[in-house]
Chain A
Amino acid sequence: MTIKNVKKRWKDIPIGGVIVEPKTSLRNKTGNWRVQKPVFHPERCIHCMLCVPYCPEDAFIVEDGKLKGINYDYCKGCGLCASVCPVKAITMEDENVEQENDEK
C-alpha cells in the first residue's frame, strides 16, 4: 500500500489545532484500526436496530427500517454490535481471514 504524503507543514495549518470546517471526521477512515471484523448474517437479522445506536462509528447502513450492512470504511472492529445483537446476526471474525460470503 502506498501512502501519499499529503500532510501539511507547520506554517500551513490553522493555529491551536483548531478544526476550521465541519464533517472532517468523515475523512478519518477508522476502518484500518480493525483487528477483527464484524460479519453481518442478514438471514438471522430481526431488524431490531439495537446494534445501530451502540456502534461508536455510526457504521451501520440502514434503509427503509432494514439493516443492510456495515460500512467497513469506518467500522473499527470494536465488537460492540456483535455482543448486543440478540440473535447473533453479527459475528466477529479475524480480519485476515477471507470472509466474503456468509454461511450458505
Chain B
Amino acid sequence: MNNLKIFVDSKYIDNYETVLPLSGAHAVAEAMRQINPDTVAAYPITPQTPIVERFSEFVADGKVDTEFIPVESEHSAMSATIGASAAGARAMTATSSVGLALMFEVVNAASGMRLPIVMPVVNRALSSPINIHCDHSDTMACRDAGWIQIYSENSQEAYEHAILAIRLAEHPEIQLPVMVAQDGFITSHSVEVVRILKDEVVKNFVGERKPIHSLLFSENPVTFGALELPDYFFETKRQQQYAMEMALKYYSDIANELTKLTGHAYPMFEPFMLDDADVALIALNSSAGTIKKVVKEMRQEGKKVGLLKIRLFRPFNYELMKSMLKHVKTIGVLDRSFSFGANPPVFSEVLASLRSENIFSFVYGLGGRELYESQVRETFDNLLKGKFDAKINYIGLRE
C-alpha cells in the first residue's frame, strides 16, 4: 500500500487501492473484474489474448458474478454478447486481429442494434502472411462499423479507458458499442506499474446498466434485429450517425467525471509539447510513448518538435484537430495500417481536418433507397449557390 504514495498524487490517493505490476491485457482484465459485467462470451484459443484468460480465472475464483460463456468462435462470441446485451445485460467480450475480422459481420450488428457492448481489442496484424504481432489493421478495418474507438498508449490508459468506455457506451443519448484498443505485445504483454482504483470507486462510477429496451421486459415485448427495407433503413443508420455526434458531445463530460477520481486527463487529442512546435507527429497507441521520449530529447537539442496523440478515433473531432494544428508548419502522420490504394486511415482523417474548404459530403441511398435525377439536380443547384451549413449532408433522408 505504501508505494501508492510514490505513484499517486495525494489528492486522489483515497480513490486508489494499490499499484500492481500488470501487462496491458491483465490491466484490462482487472478493469473487467471491477466492472463485473453480467455476461462475458469469449472464444478461448488464439487469437484470444490474456484478457479473457485472466478474466476466466476471476470467474472460476468467484471474484465476479459474471455468466461466462465459452463459445466456439469469435463470431459466436460477439453473437452471444449481442444476445446478452439485447436482453439488457452489461455484456463484454475481448478479441484481437483475425478474431475481430471473423466477428466483423456481427460487429456491425451490435452497433446497428445500438447495444452498448464494451470490447477491449489487442491490436495485431491481419493475415496473410500469418503474423501475430502489433499493427492496427484489425481495428482500422472496423473504423466504419459504427463502434466508438478509444486508443490506449499504455497499460494504465487501457485500464482506465475500459472503465470510461462503459459510461460512454451506456449514456442514454449514445447507446453505442465501444472498442478499447491497445497495442499487441508492446502493451498487452509488457508489464508496467498500473495504479488500480478501489473496487467501489469503479463500481460507483460505472453504476448499473439501464437498458432502454430489453428482450426480457415481458410487459413490453420488443424485437431486435428485424428486417428494414429501403423505406426505413437509411433513417435507422442516420440515428447511428447522430449517436456518434452525441458521443462527441458528451465524451468530455464523462471523461472529466473520471478525471475527478483518477487525476488523469483523457482529452480526445492529447498535445505533447505542441504549443510552440514547428513540426509535429500524430500517432495513436503505444508509439505515442516512444515519440514523447524522442520529442523530449530533441527539445534538449533545441528542435521545436511535438506530438499530437489521438485517443478518440471514432467519432473523430475534425474541428478540434484543425484548431490544435493550426500553428504547426509541417505535420507527419503515423499509420500502423494500410488502406491499400488510398490514404492510410489516420492520415486520411488528419488531411480531411485540414483541407476541408469547398467540399461537402452527401450520404445517400443506404439500404437500397433510390437516387433520383431531381435530387442530383437539387444537389448541383445547392452547390452552385455556395456553402452548406453542415459538412455532412443527406440525400433522400426524412430529416
Name A15's closest neighbour in chain B (CB-CB). Answer: B114
Q: Tell me whether A16 and B113 are in contact (CB under 8 A).
A: yes
Q: Tell me whether B398 and A7 are in contact (CB under 8 A).
A: yes
Q: Tell me whether A13 and B113 are in contact (CB under 8 A).
A: no
Q: Tell me whether B398 and A17 are in contact (CB under 8 A).
A: no
Question: Considering the chains assembled together, what is the distance between the CA atoms of A21 and B220 in angstroms?
Answer: 7
Given contacts A15-B212, A15-B239, contact A7 B232 (CB under 8 A): yes
Task: Enumerate B71-130 residues with CB–CB distance to A below 8 Å.
Answer: 112-115
Question: Considering the chains assembled together, what is the distance between the CA atoms of A17 and B226 in angstroms?
Answer: 7
Contact residues in A for B220 (Cβ distance below 8 Å) = 20
Q: How far is the CB of A5 from chain B (nearest CB, A)?
A: 9
Given contacts A9-B398, A13-B236, contact A18 B231 (CB under 8 A): no
Contact residues in A for B222 (Cβ distance below 8 Å) = 18-20
Contact residues in B for A20 (Cβ distance below 8 Å) = 213, 220, 222
Name B237's closest neighbour in chain A (CB-CB). Answer: A10
Contact residues in B for A10 (Cβ distance below 8 Å) = 234-236, 238-239, 242, 397-399
Task: Enumerate B33-71 residues with CB–CB distance to A below 8 Å.
Answer: none
Question: Considering the chains assembled together, what is the distance between the CA atoms of A7 and B235 in angstroms?
Answer: 10
Interface bits A1-27 vs B (CB < 8 Å: 1, else 0): 000000111110111111111100000
Q: Tell me whether A7 and B231 are in contact (CB under 8 A).
A: yes
Contact residues in B for A9 (Cβ distance below 8 Å) = 235, 398-399
Q: How far is the CB of B307 from chain A (nearest CB, A)?
A: 37
Question: Considering the chains assembled together, what is the distance between the CA atoms of A14 and B235 in angstroms?
Answer: 10
Question: Considering the chains assembled together, what is the distance between the CA atoms of A7 and B222 in angstroms?
Answer: 20
Which interface class (under 10, 10 to 19, 20 to 34, 35 or more) fits B?
20 to 34
Which interface class (under 10, 10 to 19, 20 to 34, 35 or more) fits A?
10 to 19
Contact residues in A for B236 (Cβ distance below 8 Å) = 10, 13, 15-17
Interface bits B191-233 vs A (CB < 8 Å: 1, else 0): 0000000000000000000001100000011111110100110
Q: Tell me whether B221 and A17 are in contact (CB under 8 A).
A: no
Task: Enumerate A7-53 residues with CB–CB distance to B below 8 Å.
Answer: 7-11, 13-22
Q: Tell me whether B235 and A13 are in contact (CB under 8 A).
A: yes
Question: Considering the chains assembled together, what is the distance between the CA atoms of A14 and B399 in angstroms?
Answer: 15
Given contacts A7-B398, A10-B238, contact A16 B221 (CB under 8 A): no
Question: Considering the chains assembled together, what is the distance between the CA atoms of A10 and B175 in angstroms?
Answer: 16
Contact residues in B for A22 (Cβ distance below 8 Å) = 221
Question: Considering the chains assembled together, what is the distance between the CA atoms of A11 and B398 in angstroms?
Answer: 9
Contact residues in A for B212 (Cβ distance below 8 Å) = 15
Name B235's closest neighbour in chain A (CB-CB). Answer: A10
Question: Considering the chains assembled together, what is the distance between the CA atoms of A9 and B222 in angstroms?
Answer: 20
Name A13's closest neighbour in chain B (CB-CB). Answer: B235
Q: Which single member of B175, B223, B232 contacts A15 (CB below 8 Å)?
A: B175
Q: How far is the CB of B67 from chain A (nearest CB, A)?
A: 23
Question: Considering the chains assembled together, what is the distance between the CA atoms of A17 and B213 in angstroms?
Answer: 11
Q: Which single member of A8, A11, A13, A16 contacts B112 (CB below 8 Å)?
A: A16
Question: Considering the chains assembled together, what is the distance between the CA atoms of A16 and B116 in angstroms?
Answer: 11
Q: How far is the CB of B312 from chain A (nearest CB, A)?
A: 21
Q: How far is the CB of A18 from chain B (nearest CB, A)?
A: 5
Name A20's closest neighbour in chain B (CB-CB). Answer: B222
Contact residues in B for A19 (Cβ distance below 8 Å) = 222-223, 226
Q: Tell me whether B231 and A17 are in contact (CB under 8 A).
A: no
Question: Considering the chains assembled together, what is the distance between the CA atoms of A15 and B112 in angstroms?
Answer: 9
Q: Tell me whether B114 and A16 are in contact (CB under 8 A).
A: yes
Q: Tell me whether A16 and B175 are in contact (CB under 8 A).
A: yes
Q: How far is the CB of A71 from chain B (nearest CB, A)?
A: 21
Question: Considering the chains assembled together, what is the distance between the CA atoms of A22 and B238 in angstroms?
Answer: 24
28 sampled A-B residue pairs with Cβ under 8 A? A7-B231, A8-B235, A10-B234, A10-B239, A10-B397, A10-B398, A10-B399, A13-B236, A13-B239, A15-B212, A15-B239, A16-B112, A16-B175, A16-B213, A16-B224, A17-B112, A17-B113, A17-B225, A17-B226, A17-B236, A18-B213, A18-B223, A18-B224, A19-B223, A20-B220, A20-B222, A21-B221, A22-B221
For the complex of A and B, the 8 pairs showing the least CB-CB separation, nearest first, are: A16-B114, A10-B235, A19-B223, A10-B238, A9-B398, A16-B113, A17-B236, A15-B114
A-B contact sample (8 more), CB < 8 A, given A7-B231, A16-B114, A20-B213: A9-B399, A13-B232, A13-B235, A15-B114, A15-B236, A16-B236, A19-B222, A21-B221
